[in-house]
């Protein structure tokens, strides 16, 4: 008896990673929700949160947790040339081992460049953050300065009401500032 052996061919298929229509996060095969409109436009959503926001007709540029919001408010790089490498291309190419090796090396280098540029962009955005926080803290201290002084420290008879005590405490602090014993700037 002759047995027929079936030859199995391993076909290398490329895994396509789609972007969520609403939040622009990557979607792997078998994940998410696909919605096809009557005009055959395909919308892919990574989770039900994105799908429900789409059904509620919310604009991704006004929804704070989406990539579109971050791009529109200049929180992330938008016009970087490295981002153009991620564009989808439907051009079939013949397999070449050397070219694939060069491509993989290029992908690693592009990722390094991308990380460095994002870090530089973040540092530039946060450059004045310490100064702004200091100004806000000083403003808060000036506004609530009366809380720093104990009622016992205010000279004279103890004020009866809170408003009088606050006024007396602020006068006391201004006197101390004029004497040079207190610095508020």
pLDDT score for 184 = 61
pLDDT score for 10 = 43
- For 147-176, b/e burial (b = at least 16 CB within 10 A) is eebeeeebeeeeeeeeeebbebbeebbeee
Report how far residue 46's alpha carbon sits from residue 27's, in angstroms, rounded to the nearest whole number. Answer: 6
Report how far residue 17's alpha carbon sits from residue 178's, in angstroms, rounded to the nearest whole number. Answer: 67
pLDDT score for 170 = 76
Q: What angle do CA 113, 118, 123 make, to 5 degrees?
A: 125
Closest C-alpha among 149, 183, 140, 142 to residue 169: 149
pLDDT score for 78 = 66
> pLDDT in tens for each of the 185 residues of the chain?
555 544 444 444 567 889 999 999 999 999 999 999 999 999 999 999 999 999 999 999 999 999 889 888 888 776 666 666 666 667 777 888 898 899 889 889 988 988 998 899 889 888 888 888 888 888 887 777 767 666 555 556 655 666 777 777 777 777 877 887 666 65
pLDDT score for 8 = 43
Q: 60 is written with which tokens?
A: 């991704």
pLDDT score for 52 = 96
pLDDT score for 179 = 81
pLDDT score for 84 = 63
Report pTM. 0.45
């Amino acid at each position: 008896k002759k047995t027929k052996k079936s030859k199995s061919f391993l076909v290398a298929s490329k895994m396509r990673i789609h972007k969520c229509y609403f939040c622009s996060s990557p979607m792997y095969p078998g994940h998410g929700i696909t919605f096809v409109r009557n005009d055959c436009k395909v919308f892919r959503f990574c989770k039900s949160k994105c799908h429900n926001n789409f059904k509620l007709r919310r604009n991704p540029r006004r929804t704070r947790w989406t990539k579109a919001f971050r791009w529109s408010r200049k929180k992330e790089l938008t016009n970087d040339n490295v981002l153009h490498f991620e564009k989808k291309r439907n051009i079939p190419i013949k397999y070449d081992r050397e070219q694939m090796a060069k491509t993989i090396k290029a992908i690693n280098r592009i990722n390094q460049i991308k990380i460095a540029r994002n870090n530089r962009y973040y540092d530039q955005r946060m450059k004045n953050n310490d100064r702004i926080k200091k100004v806000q803290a000083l403003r808060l201290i000036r506004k609530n300065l009366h809380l720093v002084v104990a009622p016992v420290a205010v000279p004279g008879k103890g004020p009866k009401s809170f408003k009088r005590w606050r006024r007396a405490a602020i006068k006391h602090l201004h006197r101390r500032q004029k004497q040079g014993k207190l610095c508020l700037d």
